[in-house]
Amino acid sequence: MAVVTCTNFTLPLAVMFVVALAITFKRVKKFARIAWDALTVECSVVALTQSTAPPQGQSQPESPPGTVVPTSVNYHFTRQCNYKCGFCFHTAKTSFVLPLETAKKGLRLLAEAGMEKVNFSGGEPFIKDRGRYVGQLVMFCKSELGLPSVSIVSNGSLITEDWFNKYGEWLDILAISCDSFDEETNRRIGRHQTGKDHLRCLRQVRTWCQQYKVAFKINSVVNRYNIDEDMSSEIMELNPIRWKVFQCLLIGGENAGPEALRDAEDMVITDQQFDQFVKRHEQVTCLVPESNEKMRDSYLILDEYMRFLDCREGRKEPSRSLLDVGVQSAIQRSGFDEKMFFKRGGKYTWSKADLKLDW
Q: What's the pLDDT score for residue 312? A: 65
CB 159 within 8 A of CB 131: yes
What residues pair up with 139 in beta bridges, in sequence order?
Answer: none
Q: What's the pLDDT score for residue 226? A: 98
Q: What's the pLDDT score for residue 8? A: 41
Of 85, 178, 201, 248, which residue is the catalytic one? 85
CB 128 within 8 A of CB 163: no
Model confidence pLDDT, tens digit, residues 5-42: 333 434 344 434 433 434 444 443 443 443 444 434 34
Q: What's the pLDDT score for residue 343? A: 81
Q: What's the pLDDT score for residue 359? A: 57
141 catalytic per annotation = no
Per-residue pLDDT tens listing for the chain (359 residues): 444 333 343 434 443 443 343 444 444 344 344 344 443 434 333 333 333 333 333 333 333 557 889 999 999 999 999 999 988 877 778 899 999 999 999 999 999 999 999 999 999 999 999 999 999 999 999 999 999 999 999 999 999 999 999 999 999 999 999 999 999 999 999 998 888 899 999 999 999 999 999 999 999 999 999 999 999 999 999 999 999 999 998 887 776 788 778 778 899 999 999 999 999 999 999 999 998 877 667 789 999 999 998 866 666 688 999 999 999 999 998 888 788 888 888 888 899 989 877 65
Q: What's the pLDDT score for residue 311? A: 66
Could you write out the DSSP letters of every residue in 200-267?
A: HHHHHHHHHHHHTT-EEEEEEEE-TTTTT---HHHHHHH--SEEEEEE----BTTTBSTT-S---GGG
CB atoms within 10 A of CB 99: 9
β-pair type (173-177, 215-222): parallel
User: What Rg, from alpha-carbon coordinates, does the chain have?
Assistant: 29
81 catalytic per annotation = yes
Q: What's the pLDDT score for residue 23? A: 41
Q: What's the pLDDT score for residue 142? A: 98
Of 6, 43, 88, 311, which residue is the catalytic one? 88
Of 6, 43, 81, 201, which residue is the catalytic one? 81
286 catalytic per annotation = no
Quick one: DSSP state of residue 144?
Answer: I
Q: What's the pLDDT score for residue 115? A: 97
Q: What's the pLDDT score for residue 141? A: 99
